[in-house]
């Protein structure tokens, strides 16, 4: 193999090993996309985390738990509106991700809670966490911390503010 061919092959191999996005994490047939968390006010005891999970496989899997460096507990929650009243409940058995399904964890829906925060979540920082899946196992995820009022990750919104007159 010539030196040029070797360098080209090495460059292509390095490119192929690069994830599609720095935020994306894959474990088995599950892809976790764009994990983010909201910044918290000083002294807050809880924080929220959000992301998408896509199951590209042929068998279901289940997000069953997690742990984080920033909190005493990690819980999976669902928020819903029942009879005009917003309710939040812990999902102690986790959430199933069926084959071909994408589940979005977002404000007002499914989300994870960092309970018993041991430090303030500061915009621009990250929260390191480990997600535990029933079949795929454990995967480390970095949640990018957005603004306190953020509705989406990636800094694309204005923290829920409305502009105009």
Q: Mean pLDDT over residues 89-112, rounded?
A: 96
Burial 44-60 (b: 16+ CB within 10 A, else e): eeebbbbbbbbbebeee
Provide the CATH topology of domain 21-146.
Answer: Immunoglobulin-like (2.60.40)
Q: CA distances (Å), 59 to each of 7, 64, 96, in order?
A: 40, 16, 11
Q: What is the pLDDT of residue 151?
A: 86
CA angle centred on 55, ends 49 and 37, rounded to 5°: 10
Q: What is the pLDDT, as a whole number, of residue 149?
A: 86
Greater model confidence, 128 or 4 = 128
Q: In whole angstroms, what is the distance from residue 56 CA to residue 132 CA?
A: 17
Q: What's the DSSP call for residue 103?
A: E
State what percent of residues in the chain have pLDDT above 70: 79
**CA dist., res. 7 & res. 70, Å (int):** 42
3-state DSSP assignment of residue 13: helix
State pTM to two decimals: 0.78
The residue count of the chain comes to 165
Select the more confidently predicted residue: 17 or 89. 89
pLDDT digits (tens, 9 = 90+) for 44-88: 999 999 999 999 999 999 999 999 999 999 999 999 888 999 899
| Cα 162 from chain centre | 26
> Token digits for 24?
């994306």
């Amino acid at each position: 193999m010539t030196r040029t061919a070797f360098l080209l092959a090495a460059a292509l191999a390095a490119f192929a090993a690069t994830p599609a996005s720095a935020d994306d994490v894959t474990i088995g047939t599950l892809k976790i996309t764009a994990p983010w968390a909201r910044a918290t006010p000083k002294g807050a005891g809880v924080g929220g985390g959000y992301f998408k999970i896509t199951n590209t496989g042929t068998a279901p899997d289940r997000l069953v738990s997690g742990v984080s460096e920033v909190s005493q507990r990690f819980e999976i929650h669902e928020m819903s509106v029942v009879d005009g009243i917003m309710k939040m409940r812990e999902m102690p058995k986790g959430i199933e991700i069926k084959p071909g399904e994408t589940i979005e964890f977002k404000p007002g829906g499914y989300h994870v809670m960092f309970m018993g925060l041991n430090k303030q979540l500061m915009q621009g920082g990250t929260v390191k966490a480990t997600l535990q899946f029933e079949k795929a196992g454990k995967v480390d995820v970095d949640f990018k911390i957005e603004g306190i009022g953020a509705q989406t990750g990636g800094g694309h919104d204005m923290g829920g503010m409305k502009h105009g007159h």
